Structure 1
């Protein structure tokens, strides 16, 4: 087992004033891995700015500026975090919620077999369209 010792004794972190926390379960149980880049950015920002009850009221323009993302990217990330039961939003106020029992299941299962490939793979779908309508419509 590795013995841990502070590398910089004069720079050991201390909680002074307000602070934020993320449960270690967020990483261990797969919540971290279940989020896209923008979802993760937004979630961590909402954790950092939240009060003791997880509440914050940053506006979308402030959030987009801080995260350097577009409004569309913000909306997609926000809606995904709501769908994944990590935050609540009433149009004005955010609440970072306690973690649900399990991380969301990824709905993008691997494609198995020719039939699924023709139904879900964009390249295969394009090929079917080209064959159906002819190359003139490419």
Structure 2
């Protein structure tokens, strides 16, 4: 039997204050805007099958079959969710994370000129 321990115990999800298991900040803080359709489908599946601490241990081949995607796509979509701070992954466990209260907005946010020039210098826009 697989022993499941949270990967990020400090970010165990709780039911949000509003009536929804999916945190409305997925929309209001533009997380969903930064997800591909495949990443959003994977997130929905993981939220649905996760236990009370956000943990699930579906095998990659099962996720691929259930979501009609190949393994390369699954890896790419999972990485998108990791990069957004929505999930943590340590094989064989995936943990759906609580959205951090002070998560920075990356879409439509104001930036100082210093931040803009720094990003240009790093080759990002």
> What TM-score, normalized by structure 1, do the two folds share?
0.58
SS of the residue 1:88 aligns to: strand
Q: Give 1:33 deviation, angstroms.
A: 1.1
Q: Deviations over 1:49-75 (max 9, x none)?
A: 001110000000110111101111001
Greater per-residue helix proportion: 1
Distance 1:103 1:49, change over 3 A: farther
Extract unaligned runs of 5+ from structure 1. 1-19, 107-118, 120-138
Distance 1:103 1:26, change over 3 A: farther
How far does residue 103 in structure 1 lie from its aligned partner after superposition?
6.1
CA RMSD of aligned residues (A): 2.0
- Contact 2:29/2:105 (8 A) holds in 1: no
Structure 2 length-normalised TM: 0.64
2:106 match: 105
1:5-84 to 2 correspondences below 5 Å: 21-84=21-84
Q: Is the 8 A contact 1:86 1:98 kept in 2?
A: yes
Alpha-carbon deviation of 1:82? 1.1
Counterpart CA distance in 2 for 1:48 and 1:86 is 14
Structure 2 contact 86–97 (Cα < 8 Å) conserved: yes
User: What SS does structure 2 have at the residue aligned with 1:53?
Assistant: coil
Residue 105 of structure 1: CA displacement?
Answer: 2.7
Q: Is the 8 A contact 2:31 2:84 kept in 1?
A: no
Q: Post-superposition, which runs of at least 4 consecutive aligned residues in structure 1 deviate over 6 A?
A: none
Q: 1:41 offset after TM fit, Å?
A: 0.8
Q: Residue 92 of structure 1: CA displacement?
A: 0.5
Shift of 1:28: 1.7
Is the 1:55–1:96 contact (alpha carbons within 8 Å) kept by the matching residues of 2?
yes
